[in-house]
């Protein structure tokens, strides 16, 4: 999921800068922002949160490609820094420098997200070892955390959509 999210997040910004540089400030409202994509991403994250709450209540198991779908949806919001640097690089006549920056940004985001994922897995393994004698407790804890995370996503999406 972290590779998909970082790729989508940075690539959307590069595509906006490269394909629509003359129209950036008109079509997107202001440089570095894409309100329509941001609203779509917020709405999709809210739906993911509602789905997580439903799954936590219904005892559903994870599917193979769920993380990739979440990564694409969350990555729909373009990276403002990459969009700014790409726009600046194109205006200055050095688009290769902007692309190198975008590649570096993508790698940095992916490394950060992968590190968080690895730490989460290590913590989960420790937790599983600690409560392996209490499988029902672990299942209840897992569902509770997933439900709370889903509720937080729904609340964040509603807040962002209604109060921006």
- Tens-place pLDDT, residues 123-154: 887 877 777 777 788 788 888 988 898 888 88
d(CA 42, CA 73) in angstroms, rounded, equals: 9
DSSP state of 60: P
Enclosing domain of residue 143? 2-162
Give yes or no for residue 24 having a pLDDT over 60.
Answer: no
pLDDT grade, residue 104 (50/70/90)? very high
If one counts the domains in the chain, the total is 1
């Amino acid at each position: 999921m972290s590779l998909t999210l970082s790729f989508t997040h940075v690539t959307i910004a590069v595509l906006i800068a490269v394909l629509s540089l003359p129209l950036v400030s008109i079509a997107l409202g202001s440089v570095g922002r894409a309100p329509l994509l941001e609203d779509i991403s917020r709405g999709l994250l809210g739906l993911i949160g509602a789905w997580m709450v439903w799954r936590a209540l219904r005892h559903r198991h994870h599917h193979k490609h769920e993380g990739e779908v979440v990564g694409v949806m969350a990555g729909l919001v373009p990276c403002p820094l990459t969009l700014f640097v790409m726009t600046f690089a194109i205006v200055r006549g050095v688009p290769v420098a902007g692309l190198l920056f975008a590649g570096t940004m993508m790698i940095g985001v992916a490394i950060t997200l992968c590190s968080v994922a690895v730490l989460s897995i290590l913590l989960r393994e420790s937790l599983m070892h600690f409560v392996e004698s209490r499988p029902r407790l672990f299942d209840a804890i897992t569902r509770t955390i997933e439900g709370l995370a889903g509720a937080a996503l729904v609340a964040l999406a509603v807040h962002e959509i209604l109060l921006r």
